[in-house]
Amino acid sequence: MLRALFVSRGTLIYNIELSNCTVCMLILCFAFVKLNLKKLLTYLLNVVDCRYIYCETANVTIEIAFPLMYAAKKYLLAGLVRRCRKTLLNLLGVDNVCTVLEQSMSLDENELKAKCLEFIDSHAIRVFSREEFLHLSGDALKEIICRDTLAHTNERQVYEKCVKWATIKLRESGNESPSGEEIREQLGSVLCMIRFPTMTPRDFAELTALSSVLTAEEQRDVYVYMILGTKLESLKFLTETRRRKQETVISRFNEIIGEWTCEGLTDAICIESTVNMYLTGVGLYGGKEESNHDVTIAVLNKNETLCTTVTKMTSDGGQRPLKIELANPVYIPANTRHTVTAVLKGPRTWRGAWRATPGCAPPGCVSFYHSELCTNGSRMNDGQIPQLFYCLE
């Protein structure tokens, strides 16, 4: 068995445990290629507790998988390349997918790269929230933003994350206060991959009114498409909405039993799922007649507010619940309890009830519980918040 501690300038670089002399030599070859000879000698001087067993096996960990793959490719050891690839795929997660994507591109590992992009498709909103995303290379960012399926995101989030990425890149180069034109230049071709025409007019106006990232002509072309549906020849941006995962709706109530007051107090319900899911929207009862309501929806995990959505709800007097889409889908891990709150201001709405034993409802993955945050009277079996919308991970 070989255990090698590679140290440079007092910093532990690799802690390697292998059971193959060939593997050991590959690691050293990688160090020789990637580092100068002086550093390689420093590494060798710090190799400790070296013992060798001559067999064709290797304990490949995620820490050494890429340097090992690099060397294995160089010396045409296809079996070892496959083992490294398998290790990386088995351990792929939100916290390392950006790094694995970068490395797979640098090693021309197309299969691994494709798997990384598929993983990001399904977990985009969580990947976007990682610090590693903001330090991607421009090429890796392009590979992500050009995708048709970035699940659980909207185009406003895509734009905001891209602008933040460009801002960090500029600050790393010494520009502490980049202008809109400089952010535009840093984004380069990524800017044209952002699907501005699919945003809501409000989102687009809020993002561009005081910004010079888009030119006046580009803003005009987007507004013409949004308002008139006319796609000018000069429009640079895609108009097709990115595909989303199939959404499921679960109903808490099965009949209407009267009316409900909406005077700014809080209706709340606790939820728990048996599977990982993204909460994407909340269904609310509208007014008993044509009416408008001010609505604030919040999703909390204990005392932490994960998402707040402020909007207006217009109803025609019908009894069918109206969907309020969350500003940001909320990731809800399995077997964790979260709270959904709704504050409505306006005329009285319909009131729903469940005329059966409340609890785990079809399709059997979400359960409801009483919330102490409720001040307006909603309970497990009657009140407001009749529906939830979600997608499975």
> Counting every residue, how long is the chain?
393
Same domain, 253 and 192: no
Taking the C-alpha atoms of residue 17 and residue 36, their distance in angstroms, rounded to an integer, is: 23
Residue 221: its H or E element: helix 216-228
Residue 318 sits in the same domain as residue 287: yes
331: its two tokens:
């990731």
Inside any domain, residue 136:
yes
pLDDT of residue 317 exceeding 90, the answer is yes
SS3 (DSSP) at 166: helix
Give the range with max mean pLDDT: 64-68, 104-108, 152-156.
104-108
Structural domain of 274: 248-392
3-state class (DSSP) for residue 103: helix
Residue 202 sits in the same domain as residue 141: yes
pLDDT tens per residue, range 67-105: 888 888 887 878 888 888 888 898 899 999 999 999 999
Please say if the pLDDT value at position 298 is more than 60: yes
Residue 120 domain-assigned (yes or no)? no
Residues 150 and 270 in one domain: no
Residues 286, 374, single domain; the answer is yes
Asked if residue 181 lies in contact with residue 166, where contact means CB atoms within 8 angstroms, the answer is no
Q: Give the DSSP per-residue string, 270-291.
A: EEEESS-EEEEEEEE--BSSEE
Contacts of 75 (CB under 8 A, 6+ apart): 26, 29
Domain finish residue from 47, 66, 91:
91
258 and 361 both lie in a single domain: yes
pTM over 0.75: no
Is 285 inside a domain boundary? yes
Q: Within this chain, do residues 177 and 263 fall inside the same structural domain, yes or no?
A: no
Tokens of 350: 């319909």
Task: Answer yes or no: is 102 within a domain.
Answer: no
Looking at per-residue pLDDT, the higher value among 4 and 214 belongs to 214
Q: What pLDDT is recorded for position 364?
A: 54
CATH number of the domain residue 164 falls in: 1.25.40
On whether residue 265 sits in a domain, the answer given is yes
Flag whether 26 is in a domain: yes
Is residue 10's pLDDT more than 60?
Answer: no
Q: Which of 69, 91, 113 is the last residue before a domain boundary?
A: 91
Lowest mean pLDDT among 13-22, 49-58, 360-369: 49-58
- Into how many domains does the chain fold? 3
| Better-scored residue on pLDDT, 328 or 279 | 279
Per-residue CA distances from 237 to 62, 214, 217, 302 (Å): 39, 11, 12, 41
* In a shared domain, residues 84 and 131: no
**233 lies in a domain?**
no
Same domain, 63 and 178: no
Whether residue 224 is found in the same domain as residue 257: no
- Would residue 376 count as lying in a domain? yes
Asked if 74 and 170 sit in the same domain, the reply is: no
Both 222 and 261 in one domain: the answer is no
